[in-house]
A and B are shown apart, each in its own frame.
Chain A
């Protein structure tokens, strides 16, 4: 007899292991990331939600594409809460960019509960979703696969419609019987998914957000508890998904003995964290679907993810959107979250950038870079702590001596507030970045020596050209009533015209002004030349810029 031994490479944790550990509230190397890619995978393939959700081949392709793009630790096979309803005879209306909606409820259209049968593994679209599960399982053994089942209360609403809210008073026993049937469907569906290879069964019961904890305890708890018990007995993990205003039910949900609760943005994450920790279970959520993931920018998505991770801490938490990702969610927004999940350094940068700096804090740096010296600013997280930052600082350090004192460099560590203000004022979004005289030149890339020298030289040339264009000068004749003054003025005029330069001549006779030049009236006539340079026009220069100008005068 040979014993099968799984050999694991040292230190490599698979997504599946990470999800499992988080479910058991054990320490993980980083937060597990489970993007709920549903019909959005259809968008990734350029097909409609309807085409996507009706084809096992497209589901496999779409989910595979999402795995490549978003590098998740876990992913659902199909996010469609109408699969069971359809198999049970509910009428569906299909949409381009949404999962289908139930529009016809069999129990108000002549069908009785006794007529309903638990669907087998082939009925409706169940077979194709299970086929997709098996293919994905084979292709991605290291990812936690989520099988999604419609929770008993939501399924009951699909079957009966809103009449259920009347029957909860009128016919309690009937509602009980219906929920018991729905529970049996849930148990069967979870078994199908587990047998096809799912690691996690997510029971999604959004309609429970419509009732209070008393009704939940009466109409949901007994059935949900049995479903989770059945999942546990098959050694799979369970998650209870809810969306909407369901804060009132989190405590009673946690008592249903699920391993995890997943919520959306309608419930504060810290509330769920505290409730779940009290019950010794894990939780997940609650990235904002519409306002951030769909309509925001990648940086907004990252900020939102960081906010979730900061509230949740290290253990017992799964980073996930609140619900099915919208069909048209921009790939870049989800990929931006993947980046900070996988890269601790990028996360720190985004976290720093996320610190709110108000517009009032922003410096006006238009005057920056008008000093004689060339200023090279390096925006870093901290060159002592982060390798790319260190290489960038070293690169600049090596090059500056070649310019023999014309180039000055400075590092701005954005862990300090003033550096962060400086960074945002220069419109820098990535770290590390090199700015030359306040202009962004190299972003997240360490330039080779020659390239950096060329960039600095280019700026020196540009500055020199500008300097020549802007040069202005005056000649003052300090005069306290002497007959030589006229001759001096004549000579100056001749010199100016012979040289063809743009210089004013000004005669000063006021005794006090003459003295302000350090000349006594007895020493007149005297000639003073002054050179001007326009540093700022029509605006208020910042102190940081003025300091650079003043240094040139020393």
Chain B
């Protein structure tokens, strides 16, 4: 029986999956291999679908979102079986939702009878350079999608500074040291790069050391902060802190502080935000290579 080559695209909303999908569809090797599409985008049926460049292709929308991850399996298996039985596709492109676990999708393709037909060529994860660290602290699949990818495509690099791009590179390296990385804008994926990707089976994947976790802490206190100590802390933690955002009461009034990449800004807080907060100081920080307790303590040490 003829096998069907499978390309999987993962990545959080906004990482540029649909653009990348369209790019792949218009280029070799997919353009000649009559691809079938499986689109599994959470809560966006018909919206993303209409953006797909080639409307002539056979498309399956897995519409349960991955809200019931296991129930999605039934729909996935049904679509995979239909595609295999139709016998007219040489390739399959799967656009996964940003909240799907890569291991689940790979396990669907590994089901009895299907595994002889489907052959994963590449599992590509699109990474949004501007937002990855923001989401990764909260959404588990944002990290696991990177960990289980065969190649990482870092998109929207034009929106971040060189320093931020370097840090992101280190984070991705820590999460997945074996996957080749390519930087891109507008989701363009080079055909040669695609041809060079080897699919890794992740059954017993062992990393030399566990990846550095990305953590988030929310600080909320009535007590005012000492501005000098706070800025000194930010400097001390410059290798750890990825983002910080929120209101801080420095004794002389509440300020809105934001750290993104290497830029720190301090402005007048919005009335709306201040009203919603339960305490004058209420901010969130995202960091890595540091444990939660140490990070928490560093901030509480800023209380004057």
Shortest Cβ distance from A288 into B: residue: B70
A81 touches B (CB below 8 Å): yes
Structural contact, A209 and B135, CB atoms closer than 8 A: no
In contact, B67 and A98 (Cβ under 8 angstroms): no
From residue 110 to 169 of chain B, which have CB atoms closer than 8 A to chain A?
111, 131, 134-135, 137-142
- Given contacts A98-B71, A101-B45, A294-B74, whether A165 and B282 have CB atoms under 8 Å apart is no
Q: Does A144 contact B (CB under 8 A)?
A: no
Q: Are A173 and B276 in contact (CB under 8 A)?
A: yes
Contact A210:B99 (CB < 8 A) given known A101-B63, A171-B273, A173-B273: yes
Check B45–A93 contact: CB distance below 8 A: yes
Output the least CB separation between B68 and chain A (Å). Answer: 6
The reply to whether B77 and A290 form a contact with Cβ atoms under 8 Å apart is yes
Please give me the residue from chain A that is nearest to B133 by CB atom: A169
* Complex: A103 Cα to B43 Cα, angstroms: 4
Instruction: Let me know if A324 and B73 touch, CB within 8 A.
Output: no
B63/A165 in contact, CB under 8 A: no
Complex CA gap A165/B66 in Å reads 15
When C-beta atoms are compared, the residue in chain B nearest to A219 turns out to be B138
Contact of B65 with A by CB under 8 A: yes
A218 part of interface (Cβ distance < 8 Å): yes
> Given the complex, which residues of B lie within 8 Å of A168, measured CB to CB?
138, 216, 284
Q: Tell me which residues from 272 to 296 in chain A have a Cβ below 8 Å from any Cβ of chain B.
A: 289-291, 294-295
Say whether B98 contacts A207, CB under 8 Å.
no
Contact of A218 among B74, B75, B218, B246 (CB under 8 A): B218
Number of A-B contacts (CB under 8 A): 129
CB of A87 within 8 Å of the partner chain: no
Separation of A433 and B151 alpha carbons in the complex (Å): 57
Query: A177: which of B140, B141, B276 is its contact (CB, 8 Å)?
Result: B276
Closest to B278 in A: A173
- Taken residue by residue from 315 to 327, chain A's Cβ proximity to chain B (1 for < 8 Å, 0 otherwise) reads as 0000000111010
Q: Do A169 and B243 contact each other (CB < 8 Å), given the known contacts A98-B63, A103-B44?
A: yes
A166 within 8 A of B: yes
Asked whether B70 lies within 8 Å of A264 as measured between CB atoms, the reply is: yes
Given contacts A169-B138, A210-B99, A243-B68, contact A289 B43 (CB under 8 A): no
A204-241 contacts to B (CB < 8 Å): 206-207, 209-212, 214-215, 218
Q: Does A170 contact B (CB under 8 A)?
A: yes
Cβ contact within 8 Å between B284 and A172:
yes
State the interface size on chain A (CB cutoff 8 A): 50
Q: Are B71 and A324 in contact (CB under 8 A)?
A: yes
Q: Which of A172, A206, A266 contacts B282 (CB 8 A)?
A: A172
A98: chain B residues within 8 A (beta carbon): 63-64, 71, 75
The answer, yes or no, to whether B245 is at the interface (CB within 8 Å) is yes
Bound: A248/B218 CA distance, A? 20
The answer, yes or no, to whether A95 is at the interface (CB within 8 Å) is: yes
Known: A162-B42, A210-B99. A243 touches B70 (CB 8 A): yes
Please indicate the chain A residues that have their CB under 8 angstroms from the CB of B77 in the complex: 290, 295
A244 interface contact, C-beta 8 A? yes
The answer for the CA separation of A212 and B217 in the assembled complex, in Å, is 13
Tell which of A161, A169, A209, A214 touches B245, judged by Cβ atoms closer than 8 Å.
Answer: A169
* Residues of chain A with a CB closer than 8 A to B292's CB: 214
Q: Closest A-chain residue to B44, C-beta based?
A: A103
Query: Is A262 part of the binding interface, using a Cβ–Cβ cutoff of 8 Å?
Result: no
Q: Is the CB of A212 within 8 A of B140?
A: yes
Instruction: Determine the distance from Cα of A102 to Cα of B45 in the docked complex, in whole angstroms.
Output: 9
Min CB gap B105→A, angstroms: 13
Residues of B contacting A103 in the complex (Cβ-Cβ under 8 angstroms): 43-47, 63
A115 to B215, CA, bound (A): 33
Q: Mark A178-221, 1 if CB is under 8 A from B, else 0.
A: 00000000000000000000000000001101111011001000
- Cα–Cα, bound, A206→B70 (Å): 10
Closest-CB distance, B296 to chain A (whole angstroms): 11
- Tell me whether A105 is interfacial, beta carbon within 8 Å: yes
Render B41-57 as a binary contact track against A, CB cut-off 8 A, 1 for contact. 01111110000000000
Q: Is the CB of A25 closer than 8 A to any CB of chain B?
A: no
B207 at the A interface (CB under 8 A): no
Cβ-defined partner of B135 (8 Å) among A165, A207, A212: A165
A102-B99 in contact (CB<8A): no
Does A464 sit within 8 A of B, measured CB to CB?
A: no
CA distance A503 to B32 in the complex (A): 73
Q: Contact: B140 with A210, CB < 8 Å?
A: yes
Within 8 Å CB of B216, what residues of A? 168-169, 214-215
How far is A174 from B245 in the complex, measured between Cα atoms in Å?
14
**What is the distance, in angstroms, from A82's C-beta to the closest C-beta of chain B?**
9
In the complex, per-residue mask of B275-299: 1 if CB is within 8 Å of any chain A CB, else 0: 0111000101010000010000000
Query: Measured between C-beta atoms, what is the minimum distance from A273 to chain B in Å?
Result: 20
Which residue of the partner chain A has the closest CB to B108? A290
B13 within 8 Å of A (CB atoms): yes
CB pair A289 B215 closer than 8 Å:
no
| Pair B277/A173 contact, Cβ less than 8 Å | yes
Taking each of A103, A162, A295, A324, which has the highest tally of chain B beta carbons within 10 Å of its own beta carbon? A162
Residue in B70, B137, B282 whose CB lies within 8 Å of A169: B137
| A245 at interface by CB-CB < 8 Å | yes
Contact A215 B138 (CB under 8 A): yes
Question: Looking across the interface, which residue of chain B has its beta carbon closest to that of A171?
Answer: B273
Q: Are B75 and A206 in contact (CB under 8 A)?
A: no
Closest residue of B by beta carbon distance from A289: B70
Q: Is B95 an interface residue (CB 8 A)?
A: no
Cα A289 to Cα B76 in complex, Å, equals 14
Contact A105:B63 (CB < 8 A) given known A169-B245, A324-B68: no
Q: 10 A-B contacts, Cβ less than 8 Å apart? A: A95-B63, A105-B43, A161-B43, A165-B138, A169-B286, A173-B278, A210-B140, A266-B70, A323-B68, A323-B70
Extra 9 A-B pairs, beta carbons < 8 Å, given A170-B245, A207-B99:
A93-B63, A102-B67, A103-B45, A165-B138, A165-B139, A169-B284, A243-B70, A244-B66, A323-B68
The 3 closest A-B pairs by CB, nearest first: A173-B276, A244-B69, A165-B139
Binding site for A on B (CB under 8 A): 12-13, 42-47, 63-71, 73-75, 77, 98-99, 101, 111, 131, 134-135, 137-142, 215-216, 218, 243, 245-246, 273, 276-278, 282, 284, 286, 292
Hey, which bits of chain A sit against chain B, CB under 8 A?
81, 93, 95, 98-99, 101-105, 154, 157-158, 161-162, 165-166, 168-174, 177, 206-207, 209-212, 214-215, 218, 243-245, 248, 264-266, 289-291, 294-295, 322-324, 326
